[in-house]
């Protein structure tokens, strides 16, 4: 019985997030101060950027924990005393 309540609450929450995101996106695009062509170019560029960032993150996660630790150690700047 308790699992059903949790599932219903989770479903309602996720539905609210998805519907709210969709409404916000539509309103944002509709009320945007840019022209349609500029907005489409911006969305295309931004979605490609997010896709590549996500792909890089996935590739990094596939690399294994040791490689990720090494990459993080080599790419972070350390404070010198």
Q: Is 50 exposed, middle or buried (0-12, 13-18, 19+ CB in 10 A)?
A: exposed
The pTM of the full predicted model, rounded to 2 decimals, is: 0.39
Per-residue confidence at 67, pLDDT binned at 50, 70, 90?
low
- C-alpha distances out from residue 32 to 25, 26, 79, Å: 10, 10, 43
User: What mean pLDDT comes out for the span 35-40?
Assistant: 82
3-state SS class at 59: helix
**Residues with Cβ within 8 Å of residue 74, at least 6 apart in sequence:** none
Whether the predicted pLDDT of 32 surpasses 70: yes
The full set of domain ranges for the chain reads 1-31, 35-76
Helix (H), strand (E) at residue 76 = none
Q: What is the average pLDDT score of the chain?
A: 78
d(CA 11, CA 15): 6
Per-residue confidence at 26, pLDDT binned at 50, 70, 90?
confident
């Amino acid at each position: 019985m308790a699992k059903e309540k949790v599932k219903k609450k989770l479903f309602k929450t996720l539905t609210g997030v998805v519907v709210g995101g969709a409404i916000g996106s539509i309103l944002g695009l509709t009320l945007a101060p840019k022209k349609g062509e500029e907005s489409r170019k911006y969305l295309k560029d931004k979605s490609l950027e997010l896709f590549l960032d996500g792909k890089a993150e996935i590739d990094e996660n596939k690399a294994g924990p040791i490689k990720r630790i090494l990459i993080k150690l080599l790419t972070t700047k350390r404070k010198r005393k």
